[in-house]
Amino acid sequence: MKKTVLGRSVLLAAVLAWSAPLVAQTTTPLAKMDIAGVRIGMTEAEVAKAIQAFDPSAKMTSRTVAYFPYFDGVNDLKTPEFLDQMGFRTADAGIGVWFAGPPSEPRVFAIVRRGGPTQPPSAEQMLSALTAKHGPFNVRSVPRPGGGVVVHWDEEGKAQCTVMKERNGQRVPSPNAMGTLLPPNAVKVLEQYARQDVFREVLGTSRDVAKCGTVLRYEWGSEPVRSFEAWLVDQGGMVTANRKSVQWVEQLKTEAVRKLQSQGKTPKL
pLDDT over 70, % of the chain: 91
Task: Over range 13-36, report the average pLDDT.
Answer: 60
Structure confidence at residue 233 (pLDDT):
98
Q: What is the reported pLDDT for 269?
A: 83
Average pLDDT (250-259) is: 97
For residues 181 and 168, what is the distance between their CA atoms, to the nearest angstrom? 26
Is 235 a residue whose pLDDT tops 50? yes
The size of the chain, in residues, is: 269
Q: Which of 41-50, 192-201, 237-246 has the lowest mean pLDDT?
A: 192-201
Q: State residue 20's pLDDT score.
A: 35
- What mean pLDDT comes out for the span 115-127? 93
Q: Is the pLDDT of residue 18 over 70?
A: no
Confidence tier at 25 by pLDDT (50, 70, 90): low
Closest-CA residue to 212 (of 204, 202, 222): 202
Report pLDDT digits (tens) over 134-164: 999 999 998 777 778 999 999 999 999 999 8
Q: Is the peptide bond before 21 cis (omega within 30 degrees of 0)?
A: no
Judged on CB neighbours under 10 Å (0-12, 13-18, 19+), 90 is middle
Residue 93 pLDDT > 60, yes or no? Answer: yes
233: left (phi over 0), alpha (psi -120 to 50) or beta: beta
The Cα-based distances of 199 to 176, 179, 180, 269 in angstroms read 11, 14, 12, 60
pLDDT (0 to 100) of residue 21? 36
Q: Which of 118, 130, 55, 63 is nearest to 96 (CA)?
A: 63
Cβ contacts of 120 within 8 Å, gap of 6 or more: 224, 225, 226
134 or 205: which leads in pLDDT: 134
Q: Which of 54-58, 129-133, 160-164, 168-172 has the lowest mean pLDDT?
A: 168-172
- Give residue 106's pLDDT band: very low, low, confident or very high (50, 70, 90): very high
Tens digit of pLDDT for each residue in 166-196? 888 888 998 878 899 988 899 999 999 999 9
Helix count (H) and strand count (E) of the chain?
5, 13
Which pLDDT score is estimated for 264?
79
Residue 111: which of 37, 27, 191, 192 has the closest Cα?
37
Residue 268: pLDDT band by 50, 70, 90 thresholds?
A: confident
Q: How far apart are CA 244 and CA 196, in angstroms?
A: 23
Q: Does the pLDDT at position 127 exceed 70?
A: yes
Confidence of residue 205 (pLDDT cuts 50, 70, 90): confident
Condensed to tens digits (0 to 9), the pLDDT of residues 59-90 reads: 999 999 999 999 999 999 999 999 999 999 99
pLDDT value at position 3?
59
Q: Identify the sign of the CA torsion 176, 27, 230, 87.
A: positive
